[in-house]
Structure 1
Amino acid sequence: MTTEWCLDESFWEAQYECFFTPDRFAAAPGEVDRLLALTGVTSGSVLDVCCGPGRHAIELARRGLRVVGVDGSAYLLERARRAAGSAGVDVEWVRSDVRHLQLADTFDLAVCLWTSFGYFDDASDDVLFARRVRERLAPGGIFLLEMLSKEILAQVFSPASAKVLADGTVEVQLAEVGESWTRFRNTMLYVRGDAVRRVHFEPAAERRVRGRHAVRVAGRHPLRAGRAAPDRGGQRMSKPTAAPRVTVPAATPESIFLTGGAGFIGSHCADALLASGRSVTIFDNLSTGSRAWLDAQRGRPGLRVVIADLADHGRLRREMGGHGAVWHLAASADIPGGYEDTRMDLDSSVAGTRNVLEAMRATGVRTLLFSSSGAVYGLPGEHGVTEAAGPLLPNSLYSASKLAAEAFISAYCHLFGLRAWIFRFGNVLGARMPRGVIRDFATRLARDPRHLEILGDGRQAKSYLLVEECIEGMLHLAGTVEADEDRPCRVVNLGASGTTDVQGIARRVIAELGLEDVAITVRGDRFAWPGDQPRVRLDVSLAAAHGWRARRTSDEAVDEAVRRMVAHLGLDRAVAAGGVAGS
């Protein structure tokens, strides 16, 4: 078996009855009682990573908490769905390798139970695991990580043991500890009649030390991300915020099929279109979309929500038919994650876009608006880049996937009579951003209001644009930049005038939080992370020539976005008043 045995569906199908016995399910209520008593969490939201068949997630939901369960096994998640249905509780189940987890929401509590941590060969994967969980913690959130130390292992260790399972199968466990008690080699034999099934895996024996190290590297403070700030409305952070007003031209089609409609930009698009009286079908797998925002939209006139993946060809075609246009915004936006998982961008952006185009062919929908990125320009230097710039040499898998998707769109337009507008965005800002420099600075200052570290060389400067202006630009330019037989696919840069440097953003966040004497340090070189685009300025002359300009400069957009984000997170001036502090 490979080192990725924990993601092997055949392993879990074969081992399910052995691992998840009735007595283990019966123990779950008591275990949940103890973890809630330990953490002090009595309400809010919980992220259960490596949730398996949902033993603890279902019990947490029974207690009135909003629960998202994450696991890499589709088989275990299907068992969890059935169990939750039988229990009459609502849990959101997400299939993902936690190392590459992308969720928009943040959580009051994250748990990883039943010693599910520490099975990777490479300890850097432990850090990546912990970092992904920490990113999803609200300020004040708690990460409870259950681990088995080598001291406990030494007390219970036996080189061989056997037992008879309920169905008569004999389970034989052969164990060996090696490498100074750092690895635990485990071979399980399941004997029934003449059939013998062998399973081998090697967890880290000293998972406690590895776990503590991973959590510290991922965020400095084990367990707590900081104490929660008081808020004005009696709610915790990261609740859905009201959408800024957007003007929708009369010529916009009456029905829109919106992929990625639960995401940051997509949810604002849906808000604008629905407010104008259009009907919208959101097609989203919720890998990065916000369940909280969707829940707030229930019953809204004109809205249909389809929770499905772009890889589901049949569902995509069935749901797309009859719409006036497709707005394709679904994609991974995790540039560092694409560096770790080199298939992620290929699957989400390239294959996903091809599936959307095929569905358009099959259903006869001819109009497409596509969200690309200024990242396709790679490393353009100091000068503004126009749509005619080239050759385009991406420096991340995210930007490579966007460029590849653009190429597929162009080819389908020329070959199959589609009409498309490709918008290369600058950095789009708003309160619902699940990541980004403003949110990152605000949450880190909530944990430590005395110090802020900036990654890179501190000279990064980019063009920033508010989300409502981005959407207005798309709507306006899709109606004024003509796509015809000779040019069926048009590319337009969308951005504000000027750029804003990263240290200027840091100063703005510090000021909005009312902080003084914050020590700012800069660590790194030119690139803050693999695939970073340190300096980019979009030339928006084409958009201006067709009657559209952003109302705010990049600096003004950042000012407004900082105000929105601080209020959205519930921080306001509480940091300066002592309401939030590093633990």
Structure 2
Amino acid sequence: MTTSPPVPRTGWTGADPYAAALRAGHGPLFLRRTDGWLLPLDVERWCARADPVDRSVLDRCEGAVLDVGCGPGRLVAELAARGRTVLGIDVSAAAVDHTVRLGGQALRRSVFEPLPGEGRWGTVLLMDGNVGIGGDPRVLLGRVARLLAPGGLLIAETAPVDVDERADVHLTDAREAVGAPFRWARLGTPALLRHARGWEPEAQWETGGRRFAALRVRRASSSAEPPKSTAVISSQRAR
């Protein structure tokens, strides 16, 4: 009998500094390692509308799109405005509410929980460092592979430097850390490709000082229904 890997912990749920930053539309907001090192989070960009770099990435999306860790929803809103089938998921209620206010569909859900349309998504997005969710890249990539349709596409934003690290972090506004520490990863593109067993590298590029990689899942054909707007998300109400 096989067992599923443990669901990685996440520290975003109920994180007051994150919710406050989204309401204000700006930071400061950081991930803080236990040794005191701070990783600044680009709240202002996340809360703005999709910029030219974002839009160039979204041009590559295929079929129905699942934005994992959608944050305040700029990418979901942009794809919805284009008439695309798109759903955002995030563990933060504040992020989901913000996405819905922008006109997108979103669910308060972890990527490791059951999701609508599993095995039928055309594209999964891991933007804004979300390739680090859970702190174990291989577990996350395995989960994404199960979400995608055969031959589906993952587009991930990677760190701007060649790094491959995992750490326990807190979310903080630089005054105090909130909640229990949780595992997070930082990956450059070379590290992502090393962890991407069962994937075909499709492209890697840099634009606007940000780096991205596209990978296509290798999986035998199945009889799963192709992504459709009604089949994927019509039974789910955004919360």
Task: Quote how far apart the aligned CAs of 1:145 are.
Answer: 1.1
Task: Quote how far apart the aligned CAs of 1:93 are.
Answer: 1.2
Task: Quote how far apart the aligned CAs of 1:98 are.
Answer: 0.9
- SS of the residue 1:117 aligns to: helix
User: Is residue 57 of structure 2 the alignment partner of residue 35 of structure 1?
Assistant: yes
| Equivalent residue number for residue 15 of structure 1 | 21
Task: Quote how far apart the aligned CAs of 1:69 are.
Answer: 0.7
| Identity over aligned pairs, percent | 24
1:190-219 deviation digits (Å, cap 9, x = unpaired): 4xxxxxx31376743445455334432xx3
| Equivalent residue number for residue 238 of structure 1 | 226
Aligned counterpart in structure 1 of residue 192 of structure 2, from 201, 211, 220: 211
Higher fraction of strand: 2
Aligned-partner Cα distance in 1 for 2:77–2:144: 20
Aligned-partner Cα distance in 2 for 1:292–1:33: 26
1:346-404 deviation digits (Å, cap 9, x = unpaired): xxxxxxxxxxxxxxxxxxxxxxxxxxxxxxxxxxxxxxxxxxxxxxxxxxxxxxxxxxx
User: Is residue 139 of structure 2 the alignment partner of residue 128 of structure 1?
Assistant: yes
Unaligned runs of 5+ in 1: 85-90, 154-179, 191-196, 230-235, 241-289, 296-304, 310-583
Aligned-partner Cα distance in 2 for 1:144–1:239: 17
1:237–1:32 distance in 2 versus 1, CA, 3 Å: farther
User: Is residue 116 of structure 2 the alignment partner of residue 103 of structure 1?
Assistant: yes
- SS of the residue 1:7 aligns to: coil
Aligned-partner Cα distance in 2 for 1:101–1:212: 26
Aligned counterpart in structure 2 of residue 68 of structure 1, from 74, 77, 87: 87
1:133–1:101 distance in 2 versus 1, CA, 3 Å: farther
1:91-150 deviation digits (Å, cap 9, x = unpaired): 3312211123432351221111011222534x2xx3232222211222332101111154
1:15–1:214 distance in 2 versus 1, CA, 3 Å: farther
Alignment of 1:155-304 (within 5 A): 183=167, 188-190=172-174, 197-199=175-177, 203-206=184-187, 208=189, 211-216=192-197, 219-222=198-201, 223-225=215-217, 238=226, 291-292=230-231
Aligned-partner Cα distance in 2 for 1:57–1:138: 19
1:150–1:205 distance in 2 versus 1, CA, 3 Å: farther
- SS of the residue 2:153 aligns to: strand
- SS of the residue 1:100 aligns to: coil
Aligned-partner Cα distance in 1 for 2:184–2:236: 39
Equivalent residue letter for 2:176: R
CA RMSD, 1 decimal: 3.8
- SS of the residue 1:69 aligns to: strand
Alignment of 1:251-400 (within 5 A): 291-292=230-231, 307=237
Aligned-partner Cα distance in 2 for 1:181–1:130: 16
Asked if 2 retains the 8 angstrom alpha-carbon contact of 1:45 and 1:109, the reply is: yes
Aligned-partner Cα distance in 2 for 1:100–1:28: 27
Aligned-partner Cα distance in 2 for 1:34–1:306: 29
**Which is higher, the Rg of structure 1 or of structure 2?**
1
Aligned-partner Cα distance in 2 for 1:112–1:306: 21
Aligned counterpart in structure 1 of residue 96 of structure 2, from 44, 60, 77: 77
1:185–1:239 distance in 2 versus 1, CA, 3 Å: closer
1:95–1:291 distance in 2 versus 1, CA, 3 Å: farther
Q: Which structure would you say has the larger RCO, counting Cα contacts within 8 Å and 6 or more residues apart?
A: 2
Aligned-partner Cα distance in 1 for 2:21–2:166: 25
Equivalent residue letter for 1:140: G
Equivalent residue letter for 2:193: R
Asked if 2 retains the 8 angstrom alpha-carbon contact of 1:119 and 1:203, the reply is: yes
Asked if 1 retains the 8 angstrom alpha-carbon contact of 2:65 and 2:122, the reply is: yes
1:206-256 deviation digits (Å, cap 9, x = unpaired): 45455334432xx343411259x9xxxxxx95257xxxxxxxxxxxxxxxx
Equivalent residue letter for 1:95: R
- SS of the residue 1:132 aligns to: helix
Asked if 2 retains the 8 angstrom alpha-carbon contact of 1:32 and 1:59, the reply is: no
1:30–1:182 distance in 2 versus 1, CA, 3 Å: same
- SS of the residue 1:204 aligns to: strand
- SS of the residue 2:158 aligns to: coil
Task: Quote how far apart the aligned CAs of 1:15 are.
Answer: 3.4
- SS of the residue 2:128 aligns to: coil
Aligned-partner Cα distance in 1 for 2:111–2:97: 18
Aligned counterpart in structure 1 of residue 67 of structure 2, from 48, 69, 73: 48
* TM-score normalised by the chain length of structure 1: 0.29
Aligned-partner Cα distance in 1 for 2:117–2:145: 13
| Equivalent residue number for residue 93 of structure 1 | 106
Higher fraction of helix: 1
Aligned-partner Cα distance in 1 for 2:17–2:160: 25
Asked if 2 retains the 8 angstrom alpha-carbon contact of 1:117 and 1:207, the reply is: no
| Equivalent residue number for residue 77 of structure 2 | 58
Asked if 2 retains the 8 angstrom alpha-carbon contact of 1:5 and 1:11, the reply is: no
- SS of the residue 1:13 aligns to: helix
Unaligned runs of 5+ in 2: 1-8, 28-41, 202-214
Asked if 2 retains the 8 angstrom alpha-carbon contact of 1:25 and 1:55, the reply is: yes
Task: Quote how far apart the aligned CAs of 1:14 are.
Answer: 3.3
